[in-house]
A and B are shown apart, each in its own frame.
Chain A
Amino acid sequence: MTVDTIAGTPVDVNEDGFLTDASQWNEEIAVELARREGIDPLTDRHWEVIRFMRAQYEAKGTGPTVRVLGKTSGVPVKELYQLFPKGPAKLAAKIAGIPKPRGCI
């Protein structure tokens, strides 16, 4: 585990750059993490997914997979891939400061 300074805030991250403590997250960190992943700017639809991921993580202790996200977030799978081309659940989780979801489907 290493410390990365994101948007001026030192945060703990794992080897893949995911925050290991979701409580260290803030919206400026999300904007900077998204920019690093080539997503700039974050639109309202991106934020909808990011906030949904955080809410799910807080409620269930894990973020949803792409399929669950498509069924429950109000953003369909096709659009999820347009918003986060490099993997919606993985990238949205990273930007939302929560661990990578571990489901296979």
Chain B
Amino acid sequence: MANPALTSHVSDYLKRRARWSPLEIAFWVFAFATIWLFPSKYLILKDTAILALFAMSLDLILGYAGILSLGHAAFFGLAGYFAGLVAKYGYINEPVVALVAAGLVAAALGFVTSFLVLRGSDLTRLMVTLGVSLMLGEVANRYSNITGGADGLQGIDIQPIFGRFRFDLYGHNGYVYCLIVLFVCFVVARRVVYSPFGLSLRSVKGNSLRASAIGIPVKWRLVGIYTFAAGLAGIAGALLTQTTAFCSLDVFSLDRSADLLLVLIIGGTGYLYGGLIGAVIYKFLQDYIANLTPQYWQFWIGLVLVIIVLVGRERMAGWIATGRGTIESLFSGAAARSPKLAAPDGK
């Protein structure tokens, strides 16, 4: 263990993996450039940012920890109602504080339910996660005097961010707010994923028996990532409530969790950008189809799902990887240094 050469080698390797690639930087530069590029599309861009955050949080437990969940909307919805209620009754007026608090509430629920989810097979997990979100939906429906029941929570008045930036009608500030929150959450999630903790998660997903044999506390790692992902999902839910000033029972619905899976499948699981790219494609696809056939867009979404599965996710991931490789080599070619050559610089 106390081999200094080995330790430094490993930490070098980790640092190298964690470095921001030019493509990633370009991605975020473009993401922030959309603020000025598409001023007429703020509404859909804002939804996309929220969906991206939500999908990223599911990817943490699905792609990194291998837990199949159909009830991720539970955290989204709980935090959404939390953010709505504290704003409506004036407990926490500062949106950013409310956002963090909502994330913590969702994380607490994630921590408690993680022990239920860790038991049993895939199907049991599916049922328990689904059951938890449906139960929360029933509770929200039951206490309709507080939550507004089927009509949704109305009359939420969100105060300006830091007392300065008011949520305007065109959604400009709302979108910037969502994008910044998404970026911050992404950086945190990226840090977690590239840490030794994240690596140990991968080994747990690969083979949990072996992982525990080399001394990884499998259970606590899973509890940890589940709690963290729940917190991120909660932040996404709170963002939705804050930017729309509305929250309805729909946040707990199965459709929402199922759509989320589709987003991840489009984007690819097991790398953080999967959720982001998937959200962008999904949102614009949905917008396009909904314009063509407003009532029956679900059919086409279903068809996309079926086709993706029949064609095979691995095959598609192969295409994407090829495409990515091409773009990356183009990029580094332009910068006159390939990522492989750049690596030794870090030593």
A, B co-complexed: no
What is the interface of chain B, defined by CB distance below 8 A to chain A? none
A interface, CB within 8 angstroms of B: none
